[in-house]
Structure 1
Amino acid sequence: MKKKLTIALIMGGGLLIKSQVGINMAKPEAILHVDGQKNTIPAVSSSYDDDVAITSSGNMGAGTKLPKTRLDIRSDEHLNALGIGGTSQTASAAKAGALRYNSGTQDLSYSNGTVWTALAHKAPNDFVDAENSSAQSFTSGTQAVVTNWTKKTDVNGNFNATTGTFVASKTGVYIVAFTFSLASGTIANDSRYETLIQTNSTSSATNKVFKCVGSYPGTNGLSSRVAGNCSGIFNLIQGDQITVNLNQALGTAKTLDTDASMTSLSIFGL
């Protein structure tokens, strides 16, 4: 009995020393080795791209069987981004060395154990430059958003040219300039137009409208081109929208000039 027990202990000890666990693979190459797609080929490094391995030293690799650090995500596939989310934890609760992502300012912060400190970064500022040759029609006395733009520049891709809606990618100061030109037509007596730049925000602090007015007092009647412009500076929060609008009361329906250079929009975030 003692002899059998001794043999069993020796065998059991050997299993504890040499055992490796493999999932989706018959011959694991680490203490724990998971082959996500069951496609690993020994000695072919690219076949480990979907593997997760934990070594005897306690290192963990995602996409590599030979992790060099506590967490190593460097693989041949180069899908090696590290996802970091936001948190409501205080810096002291998260402890020194923790990282978090701030969606409002679009930056990373680290905890020193007392406060969250933003890492130095330079996210690209919003910049939109667009022209309009759509010949959009505007009914006299009715305000309407200027739509169907042609984008020349949109750094962060947050301007919808079809609807004419811009969405601020981050909180900050934005400078907006809008110019327009209408096709030649008769101008009514004592008539006017308004160009409007407005935000669409749930915050009363940033829900603003800038209006610029052009008037044609007295007797008119000649066929002429009407043009104007408007500009403004807005303090926006992330997600606020900007549209430019035209409200013409010149007597009859008017259309934008088809010369794209005559109607333009620029939005720049500081």
Structure 2
Amino acid sequence: MKKRLAIALMIGAGLLIKAQVGINMSAPQAILHVDGQKNTAPAVPASYYDDVVVTSLGNMGVGTKSPKTRLDMRSDDRQNAIGIGGTAQTASAAKAGALRYNSGTQDLSYSNGTVWTALAHKAPNDFVDAENPSKQSFTSGTQTIVTNWTKKTDVNGSFNAATGIFVASKTGVYIVSFTFSLASGTIANDSRYETLIQTNSASSATNKVFKCVGSYPGTNGLSNRVAGNCSGIFNLTQGDNITVNLNQALGTSKTLDADATLTSLSIFGL
């Protein structure tokens, strides 16, 4: 009886050692083989794109049946992106070798066990180039945001052309240039205008305004064309807003020139 039990245990142990577990498949190719969509064809490598395997060496493959590293995601369909989130952990708590994503600076950093160190990267800078064909009207003596732009370029999709609001995609230095031209018309004596570039901080909700002024002193003619420009350099935090505004005090309401190229806006992040 004892001999029979010993033989049975030896046979069972041998079967256990060679056992392969398959989920959604009858012929697993590794110690553990999961076929996500139950569509694997052994002779078709591309069919492994939705499979997960664990080999006898302890390697895990996602999208491949022959992982060469502890974690191998090199699948034939090349949908191999890895999702890495942010964390509030200190580098020492996360331990050396940990990775995290920093939304503010849009980069990855790693822990050396003491501090988080940013990996070298180059995220695209914001760049906006727009013209204004709207013939927008401006009431005399009222500061108004310039809206309804037509975008020519917007690298990071950070400019809302309808509202005229730009939102900085990352922290940095930004150069802003705004040029406008009003349709010809009479202007009051001793009149003036202001072009304003205004920023709104996402962190402190305080505004900063850069103003440029044009004046028409003395007695003015019957019909005049008013045009001007304003440029400035700003230190912005991710999420800060920029708008360009016009405050004309020329005596009557004025509209932007019908020629869209005469009213332009460019915003460039360094």
In the superposition, the TM-score normalised over structure 1's length comes to 0.93
Letter in 1 for 2:253: A
| Corresponding residue number in structure 2 for 1:9 | 9
SS of equivalent to 1:56: coil
> Corresponding residue for 1:113?
113
Amino acid at match of 1:5: L
Separation of aligned partners in 2, 1:166 and 1:11: 72
Aligned length: 270
| SS at 1:223 equivalent | coil
Q: Distance in 2 between matches of 1:194 and 1:12?
A: 89
- The residue type paired with residue 178 of structure 1 is F
Q: Secondary structure at the match of 1:128?
A: strand
Q: Secondary structure at the match of 1:92?
A: helix
Query: What residue is the counterpart of 1:155 in the other structure?
Result: 155
Paired residues of 2:202 and 2:239 also in contact (CA < 8 A): no
Partner of 1:68: 68
Kept in 2, the 8 Å contact 1:173–1:233? The answer is yes
Amino acid at match of 2:124: P
Please say which of residues 173-182 and 96-105 is displaced more in the overlay.
96-105
Letter in 2 for 1:144: T
8 Å contact 1:101–1:109 — kept in the other structure? yes
Shifted more, 215-224 versus 40-49: the winner is: 215-224
Tell me the residue number matched to 2:227: 227
Give ranges in structure 2 of 5+ residues lacking alignment. Answer: none
Q: Is the 8 A contact 1:134 1:148 kept in 2?
A: yes
CA–CA distance in 2 between the matches of 1:91 and 1:53? 32
Greater mean alpha carbon deviation, residues 183-192 or residues 198-207: 198-207
Question: Aligned with 2:141: secondary structure?
Answer: coil
Unmatched 5+ residue regions in structure 1? none
Please report how far the alpha carbon of residue 140 of structure 1 lies from its aligned counterpart in structure 2 after TM superposition.
2.2
User: Which amino acid in structure 2 is aligned with residue 133 of structure 1?
Assistant: P
Residue 79 of structure 1 is matched in structure 2 by 79
RMSD: 1.8
CA contact (8 A) 1:206 1:237 kept: no
1:100-139 → structure 2 map (5 Å cutoff): 100-139=100-139
State the TM-score, normalizing by the size of structure 2. 0.93
Partner of 1:262: 262
Q: CA deviation at 1:206?
A: 6.5
Q: Report the AA paired with residue 200 of structure 1.
A: N
User: Distance between the aligned counterparts of 1:196 and 1:118, measured in 2?
Assistant: 37
CA distance in 2, matches of 1:207, 1:54: 57
The percentage of counterpart residues that share the same residue type is 85
In the alignment, residue 51 of structure 1 is paired with which amino acid? D
